[in-house]
Amino acid sequence: MDFPILTTMMLVPLVGAVLCLFAGSAARMIALVATLATFALGVLLWANYEIGGPQWQFTERYDFVAGFSYALGIDGIALMLIMLSVFLMPICILASWDAISKRVGEFMSAFLFMEVLMIGTFAAQDIFLFYIMFEAGLIPMYLIIGVWGGDNRIYASYKFFLYTLLGSVLMLVAMFWMVAEAGTSDIPTLMQYPFPEGAQTWLWLAFFASFAVKVPMWPFHTWLPDAHVQAPTAGSVILAGVLLKLGGYGFIRFSLPMFPDASADFAWFVFILSMVAVIYTSLVALVQADMKKLIAYSSVAHMAIVTVGLFAFNVQGLEGAVIVMLSHGLVSGALFLCVGVIYDRLHTREIERYGGLSVNMPYYAIFFLLFTMASIGLPGTSGFVGEFLSLAGIYQTSSLVALICTTGIILGAAYMLYLYRRVAFGQQNNSDAAAMKDITAREWAMMAPIAAVVLWMGVYPESFLAPMRADIAALDARIAVAAPDSDADLAAGLPRAEAANAVEYAGGGDH
Amino acid sequence: MDFSASFALVIPELILTVAGLALLLVAAWGGDKLVRPVAILAAAALFAAGIMTVPGLHSGVDGVGTYAFGTLMKVDSFALFSKALLYLAAIGALMVAPAFFNSVAAGAERGLRAEYPVLILFACLGMSIMVSASDFMTLYLGLELNSLAAYVLASILRQDQRSAEAGLKYFVLGALASGILLYGMSLLYGFTGGTDFVAVRAGLAGELSTGQLFGLTFVLAGLAFKIAAVPFHMWTPDVYEGAPTPVTLFFATAPKVAAVALTARVVFEVFGGQVDAWRQIVMFIALASIIFGALGAIGQDNLKRLLAYSSINNIGFILLGLAVALPAGASAMLIYLFIYVAMSLGSFAALLMLRGDDGGLYETFGDIAGLAVTRPAIAWCLLILMFSLAGIPPLLGFYSKFVVFQATVEAGLVFFAAIAIAASVIGAFYYIKFVKVMFFDEPAGVVAGKSGTAHWVLLGLTTLIVSPLGYLLTPSLADLTDKAAAALFLVP
């Protein structure tokens, strides 16, 4: 396709961002129009994406910088994550419509810059362009937390900034080494390049330092609860919805295909961290009194399911991990919106201050229930598809890890239902909470689209799996040779003469 | 000796000499009444000298044809690039001066004195000679011409105690550094029998004797003093804080360029055959500058002191490129210098714009609290400059670190690069404190005065260079620096 649609998708919010800086309160409308236009372009992008076509589509390449090139292009995985970003953006703008009253222009501008950088990160085909986009997100996010955040925003913004920066700079050194070794900074070429096994270990660790902080994996997660609690609602949505996905995307795009041997060597290291994360952060979430903190800890637990799925080294695990990322982006984003809705009314996130909201806010309670169930992973919602696939994938590699991670799902049900009971059910102990009005049309417009997509992904995930099937298969083919030691006792058993779903054997894919 | 060819090579220096001497006479007879035309003519002379470097820069000149006056000077692409850069920085220092000296910030002696542009011209002449020196005699001549002009500039506000203190400190410590340098040069002369770079290099071939090693170390120590690298950095914060801000802006840019270029030429052309001998020293100085520059800045409340430590920190990164000891590293170092000059000019210009109703300057963190609300344009420019200094992409400050670290890793110094880049995170702490104070804190509202057009022009221009648009400059910049670095490594 000749039309540079990816560049256009980045230019629209960029122009919007510059306009917003000078627009004052008209910035809200400019930002909404710009994000909706970007979303429309995103729909166009998906519609024109050729499933089963070439691996990299919509490629663009310009050499106007010395040292690296401005090269864009997407595969199915990047397409899905770009769609997630452009879908959540207009919702974030709506969520900040009334909640942000000071320095509106600068706020909207920061958000639109964020959108440019997120699209750029997922679409970058040059490793240094990726780094620039990946790292540049620190600036707008630092401002969003620091200027419009809660009482302890300064501490949270510093912690967010320095933690993420320290993680990333080591990755940059590794990138220099790789580019010097392979002689190119082109990501598709690097994904096929055989790095020597000894070097892979160091490179993997350097990339891990960055992605583990971004994901975040236990014990590098401590910046997340602080950042989430202090950020304004829309900031939390974008943080949970998209920025955390950068870590998972990094593992898929860099760590796994570029260093398959090191990934296999470190798979158990990742499993152990993930198992600890699932159990530990779920237990921590159970005792939180602050709603945002609870959801932040649940994010860490969900992202641990992503990392075990990724390092399961099979197709189910990888597909599940990507679907969990998409689903968690939608669901945790929506849960933060739910918190934002009642925070705007009562200006507290303390669970104790609410109760019995299903009486006076029935529509709100329905949405909140749906997203709670999706977070738990109830069949029919997006959460189920992703978690089921991930756990099915890890079960083939290790039944122990699968067992412990499934326990995490049960704990997840416990803390989410406990949260829901205390907020929506029970006695209406607080008169001010009992007097709150149900959601407005603007809030409907925020929640309803996410609810629809959550159900769509739960009922017919094929729409989301189809574009990335070929890419996942290619990735699996690249890494399968290095698969880590398995403790799953997959006894071969006696073959049946004819399997129930017998099809002609097509080769490949044995584990 | 073909003098006409030699003179043709040093046209920029001739322009500066003639302009400097003529304007000195004008200033002596005309007095401070004529300061405005003197300043404009000085800037025009610098600009003209800069124009003279363009043809050579464009085509790239190196080799034997670039020697002037025997082997006293070598006007190759490397020298031309450094000259062009330091002339531009000096023009910046001339642009911001009138508004400062005409305000109450100048204390008892209001009004720009006519000596200021003349001294800047002579300092630039000295630096021109420094960067094209290819003999220790020329080197010292240029260095001292620059230093003497700089000492006077630092104490140009005679009635101001801080300015006088800065000048005296600079003079005493600068003289000490010159002494160390001279001692090193005399040792090298004694042990090699020559003062021109080619002869000394030839004399240093083979295993270094103890005396030669001492000479090398003393020369490097003296140069480290001039570029304010740790552990010879102690004078920088005091001098930067005490000197009038336009002079600080000058010190932070042009002399750094000249001193770094000079150091590069000495280590590559004189000690080029003994890379192992000096590389350890430069690596230590670089790492120490990065770490101590960053740590020292954390506790500072005065913005000028903070920027002084920031310049020490940046020198560390520049020296990383030097430690690579390959053309790629030298080229990266020049790119870093260019971007560093733009960032420094911008941040000091912004500091000069932080003035109250009466024109007095503000220079502590408390004064700029909430600047984003009271003076959003300055605050946003400073935000871009600070994130750029911290090396956060997509700003051009990232590109400068990018090229330096890429060269370092490609040369195989991976571990060294990893330590240095991790230390750069410490530096990020105080740069984002700048942003925090301006954007997150409640407005102090003391910055109320109007800023001059010259300041806006300089700030706007440097911010534009540092912004992502600056990446459009990088291909031509890389082309120029590659030619310059190639000239440096062409050993006759």
- Asked if B475 and A169 come within 8 Å (Cβ–Cβ), the reply is no
Question: Of the candidates B252, B285, B283, which has an alpha carbon nearest to the alpha carbon of residue B389?
Answer: B252
Q: How many Å separate Cα A221 from the centre of its chain?
A: 15
Q: Residue A502's pLDDT is what? A: 58
Whole-angstrom distance, CA of residue B96 vs CA of residue A99: 43
Mutation target among A62, A165, A181 for the B interface, most CBs of B within 10 A:
A165
| Mean pLDDT within B160-182 | 92
Predicted confidence (pLDDT) at residue A507 exceeds the cutoff of 70 = no
DSSP labels, B107-140: TTS-S--THHHHHHHHHHHHHHHHHTB-BHHHHH
- Asked if A172 and B428 come within 8 Å (Cβ–Cβ), the reply is no
To the nearest whole Å, the CA of B265 is away from the closest chain A CA by: 25
Q: Residue B144's pLDDT is what? A: 94
Is the distance from CB of A171 to CB of B417 less than 8 angstroms? Answer: no
Residue type, A372: T
The reply to whether A179 touches chain B by the CB within 8 Å rule is: yes
- Asked if B410 and A173 come within 8 Å (Cβ–Cβ), the reply is no
How distant, in Å, are the alpha carbons of B19, B48, B108, B233, B238 from that of B153? Answer: 18, 23, 17, 19, 15
To the nearest whole Å, the CA of A27 is away from the closest chain B CA by: 17
Whole-angstrom distance, CA of residue A508 vs CA of residue A510: 6
Q: Residue A427's pLDDT is what? A: 84
Question: Of the candidates A19, A35, A36, which has an alpha carbon nearest to the alpha carbon of residue A27?
Answer: A19
To the nearest whole Å, the CA of A415 is away from the closest chain B CA by: 35
pLDDT tens digits for A196-223?
988 999 999 999 999 999 888 888 888 8
- Asked if B414 and A138 come within 8 Å (Cβ–Cβ), the reply is no
pLDDT tens digits for A227-252?
888 889 999 999 888 999 999 999 99
| Mean pLDDT within A340-366 | 89
pLDDT tens digits for B367-426?
888 888 888 899 999 999 999 999 998 899 999 999 999 999 999 889 999 999 988 898
Residues of A in contact with B432 (CB under 8 A): 142, 158, 161-162
Whole-angstrom distance, CA of residue A302 vs CA of residue A321: 10
Predicted confidence (pLDDT) at residue A506 exceeds the cutoff of 70 = no
pLDDT tens digits for A423-457?
888 888 888 888 888 889 999 999 999 999 999 99
- Asked if A133 and B394 come within 8 Å (Cβ–Cβ), the reply is yes
Residues of B in contact with A128 (CB under 8 A): 402
Q: Residue B40's pLDDT is what? A: 93
Phi-psi region of B325 (alpha: psi -120 to 50; beta: other; left: phi over 0): left
Please report how many Cα atoms fall inside a 13 Å half-sphere around the Cα of residue A471, on the Cβ side.
28
Mutation target among A169, A179, A223 for the B interface, most CBs of B within 10 A:
A169
Give the count of domains, chain B: 1
For residue A468, what are its two tokens? Answer: 């990335």
Q: Name the residue among A133, A165, A180 with its Cβ closest to that of B428.
A: A165
To the nearest whole Å, the CA of A306 is away from the closest chain B CA by: 28
* Rounded (5°) CA angle B124-B129-B134: 155
Q: Residue A492's pLDDT is what? A: 64
Higher pLDDT: B210 or A25? It is B210
How distant, in Å, are the alpha carbons of B193, B216, B266, B288, B327 from that of B223? Answer: 21, 11, 9, 16, 21
Q: Name the residue among B387, B424, B474 with its Cβ closest to that of A139.
A: B387
- 3-class DSSP assignment, residue A65: coil
The values of phi and psi at residue B401, to 5°, are -70, -35
| Mean pLDDT within B183-212 | 91
| Mean pLDDT within B454-475 | 92
* Rounded (5°) CA angle A288-A289-A291: 85
- Asked if B478 and A157 come within 8 Å (Cβ–Cβ), the reply is no
To the nearest whole Å, the CA of B427 is away from the closest chain A CA by: 10
Q: What is the span of the domain harbouring residue B182?
A: 3-488
- 3-class DSSP assignment, residue B68: strand
Residues of A in contact with B472 (CB under 8 A): 64-65
Q: Residue A131's pLDDT is what? A: 94
Predicted confidence (pLDDT) at residue B365 exceeds the cutoff of 60 = yes
* Residue B381 per-residue DSSP state: H
Residues of A in contact with B424 (CB under 8 A): 169
Cis status, amide bond into A216, omega within 30 of 0 = yes
Q: What proportion of chain B, given as a percentage, has pLDDT over 90? A: 61
- Asked if A67 and B477 come within 8 Å (Cβ–Cβ), the reply is no
- Asked if B425 and A173 come within 8 Å (Cβ–Cβ), the reply is no
| Mean pLDDT within A76-100 | 92
The reply to whether A165 touches chain B by the CB within 8 Å rule is: yes
Whole-angstrom distance, CA of residue B396 vs CA of residue B387: 9
Q: Which residue of B has its CA nearest to A63?
A: B475
Predicted confidence (pLDDT) at residue A71 exceeds the cutoff of 70 = yes
To the nearest whole Å, the CA of A124 is away from the closest chain B CA by: 14
Size of interface A-B (CB pairs under 8 A): 96
Residues of A in contact with B320 (CB under 8 A): none
- Asked if A165 and B418 come within 8 Å (Cβ–Cβ), the reply is no
The reply to whether A107 touches chain B by the CB within 8 Å rule is: no
Q: Name the residue among A64, A143, A173 with its Cβ closest to that of B414.
A: A173
| Residue given tokens 């010159």 in the structure block | B178
* Residue A311 per-residue DSSP state: T
- Asked if B418 and A170 come within 8 Å (Cβ–Cβ), the reply is yes
The reply to whether A172 touches chain B by the CB within 8 Å rule is: yes
Mutation target among B413, B432, B473 for the A interface, most CBs of A within 10 A:
B432
To the nearest whole Å, the CA of A173 is away from the closest chain B CA by: 6
The reply to whether A201 touches chain B by the CB within 8 Å rule is: no
Question: Of the candidates B97, B96, B66, which has an alpha carbon nearest to the alpha carbon of residue B81?
Answer: B66
Predicted confidence (pLDDT) at residue B326 exceeds the cutoff of 80 = yes
Residues of B in contact with A230 (CB under 8 A): none
> pLDDT confidence of B105, banded at 50, 70, 90?
confident
Q: Residue B62's pLDDT is what? A: 82
| Residue given tokens 């399997």 in the structure block | A499
Whole-angstrom distance, CA of residue A110 vs CA of residue A99: 16
Task: Give the other-Cβ count within 10 Å of B376's Cβ.
Answer: 17
Mutation target among B409, B434, B476 for the A interface, most CBs of A within 10 A:
B409
Q: Residue B404's pLDDT is what? A: 94
| Mean pLDDT within A270-274 | 93
> pLDDT confidence of B316, banded at 50, 70, 90?
very high
- Asked if A176 and B436 come within 8 Å (Cβ–Cβ), the reply is no
To the nearest whole Å, the CA of A300 is away from the closest chain B CA by: 25
Mutation target among A126, A143, A172, A210 for the B interface, most CBs of B within 10 A:
A172
pLDDT tens digits for B336-362?
999 999 999 999 999 998 888 777 788
The reply to whether A141 touches chain B by the CB within 8 Å rule is: no
Instruction: Give this prediction's pTM.
Output: 0.92
Predicted confidence (pLDDT) at residue A95 exceeds the cutoff of 60 = yes
Mean pLDDT of chain A: 89
Mutation target among B398, B419, B438 for the A interface, most CBs of A within 10 A:
B398
Residues of B in contact with A146 (CB under 8 A): 435-436, 439-440
pLDDT tens digits for B259-291?
999 999 999 989 888 888 889 999 999 999 999
Burial level of B25, CB count in 10 A (0-12/13-18/19+)? exposed
Is the distance from CB of B123 to CB of B150 less than 8 angstroms? Answer: yes
Q: Residue A46's pLDDT is what? A: 93
Whole-angstrom distance, CA of residue A218 vs CA of residue B187: 59
